[in-house]
Homo-oligomer: A and B are copies of this chain.
Amino acid sequence: MRYFRLLFALCGMMAFGQQMQESDAKQLQTIYNHALTSGKAYDWLDHLSNKIGGRLSGSLNAERAVEWGRQELETLGLDRVFLQKVMVPKWVRGTFEYASIITGPGMSMNVPVCALGGSIATPASGLRANVVEVKSFEELESLGEEKVKGKFVFFNRPMPANLINTFEAYSKTVNQRSQGAARAAKLGAVGVLVRSMNLRLDDFPHTGNMSYGDLPNSMRIPAAAISTNGAQLLSSMLSLNNKLNFYLKLDCKNFPDVPSFNVVGEIKGSEFPEQIIVVGGHLDSWDLGDGSHDDGAGIVQSMEVLRLFKEMNYKPKRTVRVVLYMNEENGLRGGSGYAQYAKENQENHIFALESDAGGFSPRGFVFEATGEQFEKIIQWKSYFEPYYADRFELGGSGADIGPLRDGKIVLSGLRPDSQRYFDFHHAANDTFDAINKRELELGAAAMTSLVYLVDQYGF
């Protein structure tokens, strides 16, 4: 008798499990259908990119983007939309960036450069000096002050092409950009040129954040990125004539912090409103392009999660919140500010998902989770197989949600195909025309699907 009862219970559970699986699979199909046939991500991004444009923290455009984000979220009929104030750095590129390689009297050629974010300007008349090329900090240190003093240091270590995940290649080279100036200045360099973080050979200089660390103001030196073609050219010119001169003029400037905002919207959970699921990207971008991939895509995909729930008339059990973070690029003030807000309000965040790796065809997700949590997550993997988004891995999730990390919350990042990302990253060609509508929408659908599953089953 007991045996039969057990068997009966087991069968019941299996049937229930089966049913759940089928209804979840169906729900994902509905999500994808909506995202691909009546999605709004692409139109939103068109506006953000083409009507607003590049939106560096502290700029007028950043404030326009905040207002746009708030207004658009208001139209979705969410339960709450609000701005969360954060102070952000203000750095301005200025009106003039120029560089040339000078090999002799009257013999010069221009090379495409841009100031790195946070750099000081050159003197108004520019800066002219010899160049010493290095591939690494070790090589720089081995040269010592004697061979560096009074010169430009040219950091020319390319992103390694043989790494399949281009973010890995980025992480192996980006210290040249972020710390190069501080390192070179300590050895008496007058300026720093950094090969653009780009796997392709082209003419776009790629900006990005840099820091002088604890370097006193008096020792700071200007830092510029040079396009990969420019870097190749400079390197071969140097191999012919290491006494050549480089001329650099930058006009950029740091200002005191200014106020700005995270934009937050939420649908209140019907069963567990105190459990919060966050989805987001960053609203600020660099100033050279219009930030369509970095991170306009993540912004509109995150907004789309809540919009799709509304359109499908799906009422989440848990509170689902979208956060359009301000200032990821040069300060992360939005991310830290939001985490602080959550802590101060003793909010219970169970899951945060970020999209900040470009609007490309999604391949899956990366998770920061305990073994037990990941065991649960991995059971959802097969739902994503029909959508080619079933690569589920453990690993670093995203910068903006990082400050929420507390050992309990599960953090996740959308992982699109990474091959093309650094063609556009932080450069003037990160524009709306580089976005494919379907790829963008598939990302939004994958995110919505994952949020749906977390909402259904929690952690």
Contact = CB atoms under 8 A, between A and B. Distances in A.
Interface stretch (A91-99, A177-185, A328-336, A385-393): A385-393
Nearest to A32: B162
A162 B33 contact: yes
A164 B200 CA distance: 29
B36 A161 contact: yes
Given A32-B164, A36-B161, A162-B36, A420 B439 contact: yes
A166 B361 CA distance: 13
Given A200-B437, A438-B199, A164 B419 contact: no
A151 interface: no
A171 interface: no
B442 A423 contact: no
A345 interface: no
A423 B162 CA distance: 29
Interface string A433-459: 000111100100000000000000000
Given A32-B164, A37-B162, A442-B164, A419 B391 contact: no
Interface in A374-394: 386-388, 391
A449 to B, nearest CB: 12
A425 interface: no
B361 A419 contact: yes
A9 to B, nearest CB: 36
A162 B363 CA distance: 18
A28 to B, nearest CB: 11
Contacts of A386: 164
17 contacts: A32-B164, A36-B161, A36-B162, A37-B161, A164-B386, A164-B387, A164-B442, A199-B438, A361-B417, A361-B419, A363-B388, A417-B417, A419-B436, A419-B442, A420-B436, A420-B438, A420-B439
Q: Which 6 A-B pairs have the closest CB atoms?
A: A33-B162, A419-B438, A36-B161, A36-B162, A361-B417, A361-B419
